[in-house]
């Protein structure tokens, strides 16, 4: 770091705000890296994370030497990131931190004119991104394909089935019952099929892969059926609308997670999944109307 520091009071208002924000972010990042390192079983990964935690603390000290203020980390952000690490895994959180640092690099670029030492911090942040990207190897991300299989199949199959049944039966309880039975049966079938396919390919973790597929399928089924369980019998149309909303939200949440954790494009994958799921729902919707009219079913 540069020994000669600019006077904080002489900096522009934007530069002062950037220095204080950077100091707080570095303090928060240092604690988060240390927290993840404490839970990481891979010794090499843990050592790298501790090194990064130390680097972040060094950066925070540098900004403090300019601001002359002692700032506490952003506790709310820290708790939120810790919660995400338990639910979504450390890879997702680390990639979020990488994205934050990418934004910070842009801030440092603007600060160079007033604070020459920002260039060194910028170089460290860029190095962090490369090192982090190389170390990520979380188990759950090895089974993304299995989760996509379960989620995608459930969305396409159950969205179409429930939409068709809604117009054919027009009763939320009967539709919910049919959806639950169909969903559980399809979950077991999909998990078993995935297990047999993985075994045939020589995958030693075929059972674990099938479990990820089955859980993703079952959770999706529960979310799709939920509106029909919560609403009165006659509000099947509203339940259908809410189910479609749930479909879009599930696709949104899952694709956001994958796009961050696996550094994949979000918009194209999201649009594709929504188009397929809703397209199948519309077709099933029409089949339900046609079947009701041709068979003369009136429930």
For residues 223-247, average pLDDT: 89
| Cα(47)–Cα(60) distance, integer angstroms | 20
Q: Are 159 and 243 in contact (CB under 8 A)?
A: yes
Q: Are 90 and 138 in contact (CB under 8 A)?
A: yes
Look up residue 121 and give its two tokens.
Answer: 């911090």
Q: For the domain 8-137, what is the CATH code?
A: 1.20.1260
Specify the domain boundaries for CATH 1.20.1260 within the chain.
8-137
Q: Are 34 and 78 in contact (CB under 8 A)?
A: no
pTM: predicted TM-score of the whole model, two decimal places: 0.66
CA atoms within a 13 Å half-sphere pointing along the CA-CB vector of 159: 28
What contacts 204, CB < 8 A, 6 or more positions away?
Answer: none
What is the per-residue pLDDT for 140? 63
Q: Is the pLDDT of residue 39 over 50?
A: yes
| Cα(177)–Cα(165) distance, integer angstroms | 11
What is the per-residue pLDDT for 298? 56
Report pLDDT digits (tens) over 162-211: 887 887 778 899 989 988 998 888 888 888 887 888 788 777 778 888 88
What is the per-residue pLDDT for 2? 45
Report pLDDT digits (tens) over 116-172: 777 777 777 767 766 766 666 666 666 666 777 777 777 777 887 888 788 777 889
Q: Are 158 and 186 in contact (CB under 8 A)?
A: yes
Report pLDDT digits (tens) over 63-120: 898 888 888 888 998 999 888 888 777 778 877 777 776 666 667 777 777 887 777 7
| Cα(274)–Cα(39) distance, integer angstroms | 36
Look up residue 285 and give its two tokens.
Answer: 């919707």
What contacts 171, CB < 8 A, 6 or more positions away?
Answer: 233, 234, 236, 299
For residues 20-25, average pLDDT: 87
């Amino acid at each position: 770091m540069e020994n000669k520091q600019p006077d904080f009071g002489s900096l522009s208002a934007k530069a002062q705000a950037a220095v204080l924000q950077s100091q707080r972010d570095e303090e928060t990042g240092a604690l988060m890296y240390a927290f993840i390192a404490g839970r990481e079983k891979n010794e090499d990964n843990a050592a790298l994370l501790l090194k990064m935690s130390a680097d972040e603390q060094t950066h925070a000290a540098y900004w403090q030497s300019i601001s002359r203020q002692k700032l506490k980390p952003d506790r709310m952000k820290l708790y939120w990131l810790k919660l995400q690490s338990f639910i979504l895994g450390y890879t997702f959180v680390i990639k979020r931190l990488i994205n934050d640092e990418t934004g910070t690099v842009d801030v440092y670029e603007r600060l160079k004119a007033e604070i020459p030492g920002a260039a060194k911090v910028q170089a460290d942040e860029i190095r962090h991104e490369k090192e982090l990207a190389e170390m990520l190897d979380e188990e759950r991300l090895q089974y993304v394909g299995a989760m996509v299989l379960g989620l995608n199949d459930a969305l396409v199959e159950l969205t179409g089935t429930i939409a068709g049944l809604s117009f054919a039966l027009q009763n939320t309880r009967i539709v919910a019952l049919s959806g639950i039975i169909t969903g559980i049966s399809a979950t077991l079938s999909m998990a078993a099929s995935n297990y047999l396919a993985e075994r045939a390919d020589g995958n030693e973790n075929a059972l674990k892969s099938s479990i990820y597929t089955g859980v993703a399928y079952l959770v999706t089924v529960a979310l799709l059926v939920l509106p029909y369980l919560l609403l009165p019998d006659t509000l099947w149309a509203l339940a259908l609308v809410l189910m479609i909303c749930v479909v879009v939200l599930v696709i949104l949440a899952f694709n956001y997670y994958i796009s961050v954790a696996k550094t994949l494009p979000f918009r194209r994958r999201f649009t594709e999944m929504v188009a397929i799921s809703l397209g199948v729902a519309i077709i099933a919707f029409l089949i339900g109307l046609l079947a009701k009219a041709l068979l003369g079913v009136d429930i």
